[in-house]
Amino acid sequence: MLRMRILSILSVTIAAIANMVSADAICIEAPYPIEGNGEQRELAELSREVSSALNRFPSIGEVFETVAPDLCVSNQMDGALAYLDVQNNQIFFDEDLSKAMKIGVLLHELRHLWQFTHNVCPSDDLAMKEYARAIFALEADASAISLLVAWDMKESGEAAAWEALSAWYSQSDIASNFAATIAETGDPGLAVTSAFYQWYASSIRIENYYFSSCSDYLDRQDASHAIPQYRLIPAEFFMRLCKLPDGAPYDCGDRTMEPG
């Protein structure tokens, strides 16, 4: 179980995130009524748009409905676009993101929430490098699945989230890979697999997440005074993780590149 927060589309440490969100954050609770100020209204509207899209992806939609995280915006994100706070059941967005980008990163965070509720998160008894490898896979999966949903939204006439993710420098190569694969094969599962592996193609992504995940791992070790352990990722980890929203498996595995 991931004890603090799942790092998501970020290049900062989880320990830093834990201290960055101030009391001026604006949140909305389920069932996300359309009322209140401008930020709350926008959060309610995007929750409805995402819920409508997730009717076609019920495994993620069910998590959104049953876990019902608070949706929050903050101006104290220190460069992060969004993150999932598992401990407090909240999803935070940078308030300066466009609505389309908020939808895109909400899809990403909801996949992380699915990972958490399906016990796919790494534990602190892993060796540090193994923990980092697991984080890489969680991020690759969340990127690929969020693009799958955003593509489906585009095909249904709601292209804004796909266009926002496609234009974002940190995910644009993954989106391009997904689009090219689905155009060539017409197979969403193959497109997800290809996007998953494309995540590993960027040495910058690998280095950023290696630094972030290891920093968080060491912070928790220091805080708990736990005796270091050196277990490997369980053999069934990728089997549990790599599921399409309809429950069918997709091909994935470790493509770790050493940082530096």
Inside any domain, residue 166: yes
Q: Which domain holds residue 91?
A: 5-117
Residue in the block written with tokens 């604006």: 26
Q: Do the domain assignments include residue 249? A: no
Looking at the fold, whether 133 and 96 belong to one and the same domain comes out as no
Q: Domain count for the chain, please give it.
A: 2
pLDDT of the residue at 20: 52
Q: What is the mean pLDDT of the chain?
A: 86
Give tens-digit pLDDT for 98-153.
999 999 999 999 999 999 999 898 887 888 999 999 999 999 999 999 999 999 99
Q: In the numeric block, which tokens belong to residue 127?
A: 């060796």
Give the model's pLDDT for residue 189: 97
Residue 182 and residue 212 in one domain: yes
**Would you give the end-to-end CA distance of the chain in angstroms?**
28
**Do the beta carbons of residue 115 and residue 63 sit within 8 Å?**
no
One domain for residues 161 and 210: yes
- SS3 call for 34: coil
pLDDT digits 0-9 by tens, 67-105? 999 999 998 887 788 989 988 999 999 999 999 999 999
pLDDT at residue number 121: 84
Taking the C-alpha atoms of residue 32 and residue 36, their distance in angstroms, rounded to an integer, is 11
Q: Could you tell me if 145 and 168 lie in one domain?
A: yes
Domain co-membership, 113 together with 192: no
Question: Is residue 246 one of the residues assigned to a domain?
Answer: no
What does the DSSP assignment read for 222-247? HHHTPPP--BPPPTTHHHHH-B-TTS
Name residue 226's amino acid. A
Tell me, yes or no, whether 224 and 194 share the same domain.
yes
Tokens 């899209």 found at: 53
pLDDT for 254 equals 79
